[in-house]
Structures are given as C-alpha cells and as structure tokens.
Chain A
Amino acid sequence: MSLPPDYSNEISALNREILKAQPSDVLQFCANFFLRRLESQRAEFLLSQQHSSQKGGGMAESTFPGNNPFGTSPSSGIITSGMHRLEEEEENDTIASPTASSFPRTNMENSQANKSGEGSFGNFGGFQASTNRSQGLKSQPPSAMDSQSFPSNYNMNRRTSVSAESLNPTSSLHDNWTPPYHQKTSEQQARLRAAVSGNFLFSHLDDEQSAQVLGALQEKPIPTKGIKVIQQGDVGDYFYVVENGAFDIFVNKSGKLEAGPDGLGTKVGSVGPGGSFGELALMYNAPRAATVTSTEPSTLWALDRVTFRRILMDSAFQRRRMYEGFLEEVPLLSSLTPYERSKIADALETRKFPAGTTIIKEGDVGESFFILESGEAEVYKRGIDKAVNRYKKGDYFGELALLNDAPRAASVISTTEVKVATLGKDGFQRLLGPVEGIMRRNDPSKLGMDDGVDPLAKGR
C-alpha cells in the first residue's frame, strides 16, 4: 500500500529543509517544521473563510496595521483576537479601475457645470476594456474625495501594464527630426494656450517646448454635424482642442461603440470652443473611453502622441547632453565618472533671470554653483569700477561653494536675459557625497590610502 500523496509531499519538503539547515537537534527541528506548516495552512484557511463570508463592518482601517493574522511572521503565532477582527473586516472589491471599462461620469458633469471653457473636461482619456466589471460599478460617495477619509472603493482586479511606442533619442538625432509646424494667428495661439493651460501635461513645459507643441497642433475641419471624431473602444492616437463648433459625448456601457440607433450609448456631456478631449492618447495607446460627435460644422486642433512625446524627449535629451558637456569642463568635477556626471546633470535646475540681475553677490555665503546656459553676464569686484570678466554660454561660476562656505569672491550680474543651470551644495552631497572626496580621487598623494580612515573621503 502506498503512502498518501499529501504525506509524501510534506515529508519531501521536510527533507529539503533538513538538508538545507543540517540541524543538530533533529526532533525539535521536525516539530518546529510541522508547527510552521500548520500555522501557515491555518492562516490560509482562515483567510478563505473570511473571503467567503464578507460582512459590511466599516472596520477596514481600524485593524491597520499590526494585528492581521495573515502572513504571520516567524516570531508571531496565531492571535485569537486578530482572527476575530479579520472576520469583521470590510471587503469592497467591486469598483472598476482605470483599466476597467468605466467612465468617470461625476467628474465629467462637474467640469461641464464649470463653464469657464478652460479646456477643463477631456477627463475621459481612455480605458482598457480588458476586464468587464462595469456592472458592479458603485457610485462614489462624496466623502471618498474628502481629504481625511481614505477611498475604500479601490479596484481589486489585476492591473494591466501600459506602454507607448519606443522612442529613441539617438536615432532622432540622425534623422534630424524637427516637429511639424502649422501656422496660427496670434489669437489662435492665445486661445490654444488658454485651452491647454489647465492640463498638467502642458503646465510643466518650458517656453520652447510649449511653442513647439502649440506649433505642432494641426487644424482639422469637421465639415458637418454627426461626424464621430473619436469612437469609444477604438485605439487613441490624437488629442483634440475645439477651436469652434460643438460636440456631444456618449458612453456605451458595453465599453465600445455599437451598431444600431442606440449604439452610441448615453450622452454624458458636451464640449465647445476652448474645450479639449482625448488627452490620454498623449501618454499611450489606450482604447477611447467615449464617442465624441459633432453637432454642427466645427474646427478642431489635433496633436498626436508621437509628436508630443518626441518634442518632450528631444528637448530633455539635448538639455542633458548639454549639461553633461558643461560639467566636463569644470576642473573641480573632472574626476566624476560618466554615471556621476549624468546624475548631476539630472539634478541641475534651470532658472531664468532678466538682464541686470545680481546672480551672486561678493561677500555672500555661497551655497550654489551655476552654469550659464544662455545669455551673458559680467563679473565685478569691489573697488574696481569696470567688469573684471565676462561670462557666456558654457561658462560656470560659484563652484567653490560646493567645496566650502567661503564668501563669494566676486559678483556676477546678467547683462542680457540669462538662463542658468544651478545646483546647491546640499543637492550635490545628497547625490555623491562631499566634493572633497571626489577631488581627492585624482590627488596622487592620497593614492593607496584607505578610504575608511580618511575623514574627507567619500563614504561608501
């Protein structure tokens, strides 16, 4: 007669443990092993119990964090009171996620009520119709948005990964890519600027990026009413701003536009001049969350994802390479590895000053170091009535501040509008440690010296 399979499995698991641990007290080891097995099996069992007998209880936060018997740590046993509480814990796993076929109706209505026309809607960027749980969608209680309470309506489903087209900056340099440019009147530009100003994807752009993005928006006439500009469930590649005309927004509960008279689903809002829609398409290709149709002849501005992301990427890429190039010229930092240089380049902050600004002042305590990115500046020293030096693009100053707290040796005043890249001593040390340690690397007298003994060495 053969042994039961469960038994064999336990024994072979025990054998593995014994082989690994080589215990001196075999009996105690085996006893401990089986106790642990019992403990984890029991915890699993209790969990499945709890899962099958859900109760509303409002205890969700009160058991946080330490008394959940699930996943007992090596040191803790099963706690009876914990089990009791677990049974009362609230489970709320019916809400759809951003990856489920839902549509944020409340948000939509809110923004429609807000008639400022600031491009405020467009918040139905998209969804992934991979899971179909919209039936179980509960309306969100207003208290969930309240700053003190935690939303207990989180989606419990597996979340789908997302990705956009792979963008490669090096090849774009070879291609000599320049973003498309579509002529606009200054009024049109101003309207577009206002339309996207409330959108966080645009609010971080610098002037140059912003000009490129606005230039790339392409006019798209919609000749008649009834044209479906985007269709729910379709792939999304474009973001739209309304120049003139009007559009209605429909959502079909099935998650996609269907054939037949009711195929559009329910009207959930409308959008007019200055409004925008479809911005999730600027991030990645997600199915459209709604259908948008024209209600009269209209004009749209359209921007596609690859153009948008490439504008952002190219300017970020060029700026980083420029900063790395500047940093290579600073003797104080000559011993940085390329990796360290790229970290510092990443941490440099861009700032702009109008002409006539005193960027650093002689005698002040120096805290930051500057690289002149564009424009010009002059250097003055007390007692000398004309400039002792001139700085132009790529020149750097104030680098001794990284080394010590000595007062600034001169003043630097901008003669034109200037852009500088700057980094504080604290920022530098946070990333790489004290600059003294880095300088010491190419000091031959320190070669062979144990870093651990040297109080100035970079601690690692």
Chain B
Amino acid sequence: MATAVVHKLLHHDRSNRESSSQPNQSSPPAQNDQDMAAMDRDRDEEKHMLAQWEVKRPLSPAQIAVDTNQKMVGHSSRVLRQEDFELIKTLGTGTFARVWLVRLTNPKDGDQNKVFALKILRKVDVIRLKQVEHVRNERNVLAAVAGHPFITTMVASFQDTDSLYMLLDYCPGGEVFSYLRRARRFNEPTSQFYAAEIVLILEFLHEKEGVAYRDLKPENILIDAEGHLKLVDFGFAKKVDNRETYTLCGTPEYLAPEVIRNTGHGCAVDWWAFGILVYEFLVGQPPFWDQNPMKIYEQIVEGRVRYPSAMSPDARDLISGLCTVDTSKRLGNIKGGAGAVKAHSWFRNIDWDALYHRKVQGPIVPHLRGPADTRNFDEYEPEPEGREEYGPEMRERWDDCFTDF
C-alpha cells in the first residue's frame, strides 16, 4: 500500500510541476520522509480549500475571466489523486465516463459533509472512442468558465496512469429531464424561468468565451439545491471564436440543420437547440421526431415546426425565430446576438440582472435530506469488469495529449 502511494506521488511529481504553491520546484522527486510529509500537507491543504470553495461563489464575469492558473477553481491539480475521494454512488454514466458522488477521505474539521461529483474517464476508452479532442476541449472550457452561476463548476482536474478526473460541484436536484418527464410538460412561467437562465449561459459562452456548447438538452441541465440550473457535460463544447467547425456531434433530436448537412457550424447551433428545448419544455417532446433517425434529420433540414394550437403566440414566435434553418435569419445569431433573444416579448417578465445574481426564486426547489442526498438521481448498473488496459505502447503514443489535464 505504502509503496503504491509513493509510486503515485513520484509519477505526479515528474509530470511538469508548475504549481507556484510548491516552493521547491526544481528539486528532484520526493525521496525522504520530509518531502513526503510536505507533499501530504499540500494535498490536505488543497482538499480543505476545495471543500470551502462553495462559500465564495458565484464569481462575477470579470472574476471568471481570470487566467485559469490564477483562479481558485478550475486548475489542474498535481497533488490530488483518486484515493483522496471516497466513491459513494454513481450519478450518471456515459460511453466513456462515469460520474460518482464522492466525499473527501480524511477530511479536516468542518469538511466532513462536503460532497462533490467526480467524473472519471478511462484513457483507454477515450482513445478507443476517438474522444481525445473532445475530452481536452471539455476540460479547457470548464476551467475557463468555472465560477459561472449556472454552469457546473469544475473545482479541479487531475489524472493518474489510467484515468482522467474532473472534480465538479454536486448538484443534488437531479436533471431537469426527470422533472420534465414526470410533469409531462412545464407551464409557461416555469419554462420561461429555466429558458431565461439558459439564455444567460449561452450569452456568456458565446459572447464572452467564444464557446459553442453543442449538446443542449434537458438531460444535461441539473437543478441545484436552491432551484437554479447548472449546465453539465461539456464533452462537445468547443472554443470556436469566429471560425466554423465541422465535426458532427450532439443529440439526434437537437441537431441543427447545418450540422446534418456538414456545411460548417458555430455558436448558432446552440440557438437552434435552445428553440427545440423551449418547445420540449412547453409541449413535452421535441418538434422533430421519428423512430428512424434518418427521418428526424430529414425533418430537421426541412425545418417545418408544427405548434399545438394552445401554444401562446409569443412562445411560437420565439421558437420559430430560433428554429430557422437559414442561420443568417436565426434569432440569437443575427444582429444583437443573445441580447435580441433577451429582448423577445416571451421574456418580458424576466429581470435579467436579478436572475444572474440568483435573486429570483426558482420554480422547483428540491426537497433534500442533507447535502449528499441522491434521491433525485436514478440507479445505474455497476461498472463492468475486465476493461482493456492502458498499456505502455498506448502511454507512449497518447500521454502527451493529456499533459495539461
């Protein structure tokens, strides 16, 4: 056990240490008990700092924009490792990642109740599924935006030989998806509230960060303990700035026509998906659907949305502005950007400033028994055994891609 720990420490120590909190930067890897103890102290301090982080959020837009190495959250940690966290329960799974509810091992006084969501990605699976680029984008975008009131905060990231880790704040309310499916549909004030918080997220991502999110859907939106939204899963998020990008990604029902046709896409895809999302909030299902995915895509490029007769004219006007096939006419992408969306009459009751500062009461405040309550999350199958190993050849070929993690 002890040797394993030393091995891990050595491995981390070699990997490009640049943390300024470490005084002896150029010294050789820890060799004696004294260095070991210093290392442990660093780790304990870092764990304590992370546990106390919540008190200080949310950051103002100016604070978020600070270089990620200076910011108190979102940094790449050279001292944390999986053993610092006790895995409590799976919160979600993907094709190459699993998210766990975790608490700190050996917590300091006052940190005992602090929980996080830890996203674990196995390098083998990331490589096999050709997601290396997406995973790097995800970490970098999350680091850049950490501290935004409605985006999941990546407190830190780290890695070991086999896996990549993203330590995220835990959002105990669960997915908007679950509430929406249970309710079948949201009423108009509820839809407006959630839609408005999403508009603030997209405005920030597009206009402050130049980032296209590319996977908007109710499954990726969580409700926090106070009833506000948190956007999660930045696996497809990409800093595009003013260049278009071409890789097809997203969720079938939410793909924009220009993604399907491969003519190049940018932030405008999020406004399309936002229109689909508002429609799904109000109607209970997205506008384009078929059992056969190719038929969905055919409908999307056709772009004819049918509205239930009971939908309010304002809502209809907003959705048809967003779900416009021609990007040069799409609301959100045309002159005014997100501001034009915010000015739409469907949002006339929203106080945008109060909303950003979380002063508006959310329509659903989850009922919770303590900070580690997982009742709002579904049960997931345990992790399958006997996965492929991340062997020396793979390490040789791929580890350079992960150095910043």
Q: Are B134 and A74 in contact (CB under 8 A)?
A: no
Whose C-beta in chain B lies nearest to the C-beta of A283? B248
Instruction: Report Cα–Cα, A41/B397, bound state, in Å.
Output: 53
Give the contacting residue for A93; candidates B95, B181, B243, B312; CB below 8 A: B181
Whose C-beta in chain A lies nearest to the C-beta of B257? A204
Q: Are A280 and B293 in contact (CB under 8 A)?
A: yes
Whose C-beta in chain B lies nearest to the C-beta of A17? B226
Q: Is B48 an interface residue (CB 8 A)?
A: no
Instruction: Annotate A152-180 by CB proximity to B: 1 below 8 A, 0 otherwise.
Output: 00111011111111111100000000000
Q: Are B249 and A70 in contact (CB under 8 A)?
A: no
Tell me the residues in window 227-264 of chain B with beta carbons closer than 8 Å to chain A beta carbons: 227, 235-236, 241-244, 246-253, 260-264
Q: Is B182 an interface residue (CB 8 A)?
A: yes
Q: Are B295 and A123 in contact (CB under 8 A)?
A: yes
Q: Is A363 an interface residue (CB 8 A)?
A: no
Which of A388-396, A430-438, A444-452 lines the interface with chain B?
A430-438
Give the contacting residue for B264; candidates A9, A70, A73, A313; CB below 8 A: A313
Instruction: Annotate B149-193 by CB proximity to A: 1 below 8 A, 0 otherwise.
Output: 000000000000000000000000000010101111111111101
Query: Which residues of B are found within 8 Å of A51, using beta-carbon distances?
Result: 182
Instruction: Report Cα–Cα, A99/B219, bound state, in Å.
Output: 14
B280, chain A: closest CB distance, angstroms: 9
Instruction: Report Cα–Cα, A168/B238, bound state, in Å.
Output: 13
Give the contacting residue for A98; candidates B133, B193, B293; CB below 8 A: B293
Q: Are B308 and A427 in contact (CB under 8 A)?
A: no
Q: Are B306 and A150 in contact (CB under 8 A)?
A: yes
Which of A60-68, A241-249, A296-304, A406-414 lines the interface with chain B?
A60-68
Q: Are A71 and B252 in contact (CB under 8 A)?
A: no
Instruction: Annotate B293-309 by CB proximity to A: 1 below 8 A, 0 otherwise.
Output: 11111100110001010
Q: Is A375 an interface residue (CB 8 A)?
A: no
Instruction: Report Cα–Cα, A266/B101, bound state, in Å.
Output: 44
Q: Are B291 and A65 in contact (CB under 8 A)?
A: no
Give the contacting residue for A104; candidates B262, B291, B361; CB below 8 A: B291
Which of B79-87, B116-124, B281-289, B383-391 lines the interface with chain A?
B281-289
Tell me the residues in window 169-212 of chain A with beta carbons closer than 8 Å to chain B beta carbons: 169, 200-201, 204
Query: Which residues of A are found within 8 Å of B295, using beta-carbon distances?
Result: 104, 107, 123
Q: Are B188 and A66 in contact (CB under 8 A)?
A: yes
Q: Is B344 an interface residue (CB 8 A)?
A: no
Q: Is B364 an interface residue (CB 8 A)?
A: yes
Tell me the residues in window 18-54 of chain A with beta carbons closer than 8 Å to chain B beta carbons: 36-37, 40-41, 43-44, 47-48, 50-51
Q: Is A286 an interface residue (CB 8 A)?
A: yes
Q: Are A165 and B130 in contact (CB under 8 A)?
A: yes
Q: Is B382 an interface residue (CB 8 A)?
A: no
Instruction: Report Cα–Cα, A159/B215, bound state, in Å.
Output: 11
Tell me the residues in window 292-350 of chain B with beta carbons closer than 8 Å to chain A beta carbons: 292-298, 301-302, 306, 308, 310-312, 315, 327-329, 333-336
Apart from A98-B291, A316-B263, 7 more pairs, CB < 8 Å: A73-B193, A97-B291, A123-B295, A140-B291, A155-B289, A284-B248, A347-B327
Please list 7 pairs of residues, one from A and one from B, whose beta carbons are closer than 8 Å in the complex, sorted by A's number. A37-B365, A47-B183, A61-B310, A68-B185, A70-B364, A200-B298, A429-B335
Write the residues of chain A forming the contact surface with B, with a CB cutoff of 8 angstroms.
5-6, 9, 13, 16, 36-37, 40-41, 43-44, 47-48, 50-51, 60-61, 64-68, 70-76, 89, 91, 93, 95-99, 102-104, 107, 122-127, 140, 147, 150-151, 154-156, 158-169, 200-201, 204, 279-280, 283-284, 286, 309, 312-313, 316-317, 320, 337-339, 342-343, 346-347, 427, 429-433, 460
Write the residues of chain B forming the contact surface with A, with a CB cutoff of 8 angstroms.
94-95, 130-131, 133-134, 177, 179, 181-191, 193, 215, 217, 219, 225-227, 235-236, 241-244, 246-253, 260-264, 282-286, 289-298, 301-302, 306, 308, 310-312, 315, 327-329, 333-336, 360-361, 363-370
Nearest 10 interchain pairs by C-beta: A73-B189, A347-B328, A71-B190, A163-B249, A339-B242, A154-B285, A70-B183, A98-B293, A71-B363, A312-B262
